[in-house]
Structure 1
Amino acid sequence: MSETGWNYLMDMDGVLVREEHLVPGADAFIDDLRANHVPFMVLTNNSIYTPRDLRARLLRTGLDIPETSIWTSALATAQFLDQQRPNGSAHVVGESGLTTALHNIGYVLTDRDPDYVVLGETRTYSFEAITRAIRLVENGARFIATNPDEKGPSREGSLPATGAVAALIQKATGRAPYYVGKPNPLMMRSALRALGAHSENTVMIGDRMDTDVRSGLEAGLQTVLVLSGISGAETAELFPYRPTAVRGSVADLVHKVTEPLA
């Protein structure tokens, strides 16, 4: 437990950064957490990058976040597979963030009778790679996906994401994947374990009701919806559940990280 009794989990995109730019006040918020010795973990459903890559990305925006304080859906997926089937094998459709995480738990990456097909985010989806994944799932490989996000942003517009490609494989095979990342509360629980924290004194901050707030709520955390990402002021009213609090951005939490949410 932290000295203050509180711990924080927070999404990265839309909370700390947006389109490679710092969300105003995010640096002051991180500094406030450190000054008050409040443990925190930055989360992302994006499985493309390793924590080292993401640390470098955040440094470019002015945020100094150690690798040990970054938790990705790739790491959560690797931890899940290590618990389910230690020293197993997987065929991966994804990038270095996912392959590195699986290598680090001792998994063999192969397209010969793997235990799992693991689908993650990538910018190089190919017909050949998707066809191979479909055939392996048809032949009995268990189907895992890092996250259900159907699209992601870019400067040119929307990009197809893991959930969209997973839907294609599911349609072709009749086999639905098990999604490890948000909104699965498993993502929150694995981050809590990595942080050494408990749900009853942890706050989850996110900019999406359907992933960040939902998974935080289902994991027993207090939740904050911030309006610095994709959500507007009326977004919370569209869902059958509510966050503990709604704030404009993390800047509104500066000097309040040790206080109860109002």
Structure 2
Amino acid sequence: MSETFDDRPVHTWLTDMDGVLVHEQAALPGAAEFIAALERCGRRYLVLTNNSIFTPRDLRARLARSGISLPEEAIWTSALATAKFLSEQSPGGTAYVIGEAGLTSAMHDAGFVLSDEDVEFVVLGETRNYSFEAIARAIRLIGQGAKFIATNPDVTGPSAEGPLPATGSVAALITAATGIDPYYVGKPNPLMMRTALNRIEAHSESTVMIGDRMDTDVRSGLEAGMRTVLVLTGSTQSGEIMRFPYRPSLVLDGIQDVVELVEQLTPNEAEELGED
């Protein structure tokens, strides 16, 4: 381990959800044990997802059904990150939102007024059923000067029948019609990582990011100044790593291999007292 991952104490952990903890709503080996180890060691953590469809409460229930128990406060979505970002840019602003409950509720909670005319922002998220009418309205509003925001750049999402068009694909359609590129808040934008770090009062130097994708998880973790762990249970396979101009701090077969790492890198009581 010393050749690929330094032994500085790790106080906080961020982890992607799909491909790391679960696959198609089934828990991956070691996922429940990983969360239990974090709780047992008293480590602060967040589970991240670019999926903007579901609220944290929905996701907590879905994870619980797969055998992974954690509080909804430990879940950070691209919808929450987007709402937080916009609330800091324009407190109490107006927005036209294309998305489902995860995004609309986050925007409401952030103090935004949702409307379909005279808005400051068009906010695009993921939905199971994109409406041509809604997309056409978004195009018109952007043409009238609304700023274009999207929760994440993922072009496809998984389904039982195969890939489905996701936020990035629909954003490309709107861009083609308007000539305006969206500002993406979710991974690989390190902004999502930094808002997650702030949420749990963490520092990048003592935080590790775990993910299954080189192009989003590892890249955003690296750009936010964190050590990164790539697990090979999701999108990126071992033979693909060399294609990228950057490297994760450590490559492991799956989240089950991180459980020992959590306990190994947990500071002892004397170290924590020294930190204060």
Which residue of structure 2 lines up, in the alignment, with residue 50 of structure 1?
55
> Which of 217, 236, 241 does residue 212 from structure 1 map onto?
217
Which residue of structure 1 lines up, in the alignment, with residue 108 of structure 2?
103
Distance 1:147 1:224 in 2: 21
- Please report the TM-score for the alignment, with normalisation by the length of structure 1: 0.96
Distance 1:41 1:235 in 2: 27
The alignment partner of 2:123 has SS state of strand
State the one-letter code of the partner of 1:224. V
Which residue of structure 2 lines up, in the alignment, with residue 80 of structure 1?
85
**Where do 4+ consecutive residues of structure 1 move more than 2 Å?**
258-261
Q: How does 1:9-158 map onto structure 2 within 5 Å?
A: 9-158=14-163
Distance 1:104 1:14 in 2: 29
Which residue of structure 1 lines up, in the alignment, with residue 232 of structure 2?
227
Which residue of structure 1 lines up, in the alignment, with residue 248 of structure 2?
243
Q: Is the 8 A contact 1:39 1:195 kept in 2?
A: yes
Distance 1:162 1:227 in 2: 25
**Identical aligned residues as a percent:** 62
1:65 positional shift: 1.4
Q: Is the 8 A contact 2:37 2:263 kept in 1?
A: no
5+ residue gaps, structure 2:
1-8, 267-276
1:230 positional shift: 1.5
> Which of 158, 164, 168 does residue 163 from structure 1 map onto?
168
1:260 positional shift: 4.9
Q: Is the 8 A contact 2:96 2:114 kept in 1?
A: yes
5+ residue gaps, structure 1:
none
Structural RMSD (CA): 1.1
Post-superposition CA distance 1:84-121 (Å, at most 9, x none): 00000000000000000010011000011101000000
Which residue of structure 2 lines up, in the alignment, with residue 202 of structure 1?
207
1:81 positional shift: 0.3
Across the two proteins, how many residue pairs are aligned to each other? 258
Q: Is the 8 A contact 2:171 2:182 kept in 1?
A: yes
The alignment partner of 2:42 has SS state of coil
Which structure has the larger Rg?
A: 2
State the one-letter code of the partner of 1:259. Q
Distance 1:93 1:254 in 2: 38
The alignment partner of 2:198 has SS state of helix
The alignment partner of 1:256 has SS state of helix
The alignment partner of 1:48 has SS state of coil
Q: Is the 8 A contact 2:34 2:256 kept in 1?
A: yes
Distance 1:163 1:78 in 2: 18
Distance 2:260 2:56 in 1: 28
- Please report the TM-score for the alignment, with normalisation by the length of structure 2: 0.92
1:255 positional shift: 2.4
